[in-house]
């Protein structure tokens, strides 16, 4: 991540090209923001890529253009620190016929509280309004899934990186308030006890799932 919040993507014929990712909350974007992204990408010969993290990457950019691009976008960078909450991904919930609980409001609360928060390691959160778990919740470090009874499950320890791992269901049958409080405790336990650079999945495997659950409930 450079000083202008651009990642070096590749070098073509000796010329460096960069990519930037504006912060978009869970894939929900205002039409005027989408219009600005398209306008800026066209002006600076950018290439647009819809990312797996529910955002829009603008790549093929020149480093010297990055300050002007950010100013014209009128948006903030999605990621400012590697060891932080990098994504809070959410399904359409209230706009979907399969929804068992409208998790959009909860998703917004989690985004506003945890987005870009410093963590022992890069961390992703996923929230889904039914057990289809759209957005790959079981591959996220922490997740919330609405069960068929309309109550919520909290998952942890998912990973889709170099060491793929399906998340464990840590707690079931929670109300939204209870789930939010449980996640607060989960992150407190993780931040207090994990080693630097240790993902939640590795932390669980190091101390054991039962100890992980007990540690959260002890807070």
The total of structural domains in the chain comes to 2
Same domain, 179 and 93: yes
For the entire predicted model, the pTM comes to 0.92
pLDDT recorded at residue 7? 81
Residue 96 lies in a domain: yes
CATH code for position 39: 3.30.70.3340
Same domain, 96 and 64: no
Burial 33-68 (b: 16+ CB within 10 A, else e): eeebbeebbeebebeeeeeebbbbbbbbbeeebbee
Residue 78 lies in a domain: no
pLDDT recorded at residue 6? 84
Same domain, 149 and 109: yes
How many whole angstroms from its chain centre is CA 190? 17
pLDDT recorded at residue 2? 42
Same domain, 29 and 132: no
Domain holding 67, by residue range, is 7-73
Taking only the tens of pLDDT, the chain with its 219 residues reads: 444 678 888 777 888 899 999 999 999 999 999 999 999 999 999 999 999 999 999 999 999 999 999 999 999 999 888 899 999 999 999 999 999 999 999 999 999 999 999 999 999 999 999 999 999 999 999 999 999 999 999 999 999 988 899 999 999 999 999 999 999 999 999 999 999 999 999 999 999 999 999 999 999
Same domain, 179 and 110: yes
Helices (H), 52-199: 66-73, 104-114, 176-193
């Amino acid at each position: 991540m450079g000083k202008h919040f651009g990642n070096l993507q590749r070098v073509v014929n000796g010329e460096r090209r960069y990519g930037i990712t504006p912060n978009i909350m869970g894939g929900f974007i205002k039409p005027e923001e989408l219009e600005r992204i398209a306008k800026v990408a066209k002006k600076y010969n950018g290439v647009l890529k819809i990312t797996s993290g529910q955002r829009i990457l603008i790549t093929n950019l020149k480093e010297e253009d990055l300050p002007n691009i950010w100013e014209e976008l009128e948006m903030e960078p999605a990621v400012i620190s590697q060891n932080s909450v990098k994504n809070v991904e959410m399904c359409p919930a209230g706009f979907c016929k399969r929804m068992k609980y409208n998790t959009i409001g909860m998703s917004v609360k989690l985004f506003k509280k945890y987005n870009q928060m410093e963590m022992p390691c890069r961390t992703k959160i996923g929230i889904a309004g039914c057990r289809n778990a759209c957005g790959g919740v079981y591959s996220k470090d922490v997740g919330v899934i609405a069960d068929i009874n309309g109550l919520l499950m909290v998952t942890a320890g998912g990973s889709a990186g170099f060491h793929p791992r399906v998340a464990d269901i840590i707690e079931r049958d929670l109300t939204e308030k209870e789930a939010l409080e449980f996640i607060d405790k989960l992150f407190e336990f993780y931040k207090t006890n994990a080693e630097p650079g240790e993902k939640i999945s590795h932390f669980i495997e190091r101390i054991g799932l039962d100890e992980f659950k007990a540690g959260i409930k002890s807070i």
